[in-house]
Amino acid sequence: MTDPLQQESTTAKDLELESRPRQRFELEDTGFDEVPPRFRKFYRRWRGPGDQLAPNEVICPVCKVVIRSTRELRPGDRVYCMPCMSRLIVVRGEDGRLEARVAY
């Protein structure tokens, strides 16, 4: 398993969302060299507050790297941040955008 999306959510509140298939994404190497080569396309540097995230992306709150999956991310998903080795859960933030919470 190399994709940072390790487990897709299956919670009831997302059933409506889950009935629509997840978008797929083709990932390219973004020059992020902090992880071994085979994992590099799954991460990119965050360019600061103006940086727009795609539906398959979420910021790691611990180390501020953008985590990228080949699949669209949804609330309840479990993702892994390799640069800081945190396990995260995707949630819907107050502003409606996807955020990640650390799972201790």
Among 17, 35, 53, 62, binds Zn ion (CB under 5 A): 62
The correct pick among 60, 66, 73, 98 for binding Zn ion (CB under 5 A) is 60
Hey, which residues does 38 pair with through a beta bridge? none
Under the binding rule (CB under 5 A), the answer on residue 35 touching Zn ion is no
75 binds, among other proteins, Zn ion, none (CB under 5 to 8 A by kind): none
Among 71, 84, 92, 99, binds other proteins (CB under 8 A): 84
CA atoms within 13 A on the CB side of 59: 15
H helix or E strand, kind and range, residue 17: helix 15-18
Binding to other proteins, residues 2-61 (CB under 8 A): 33-36, 47-50, 61
Binding interface with other proteins (CB under 8 A): 33-36, 47-50, 61-63, 65, 81-87, 101-102, 104
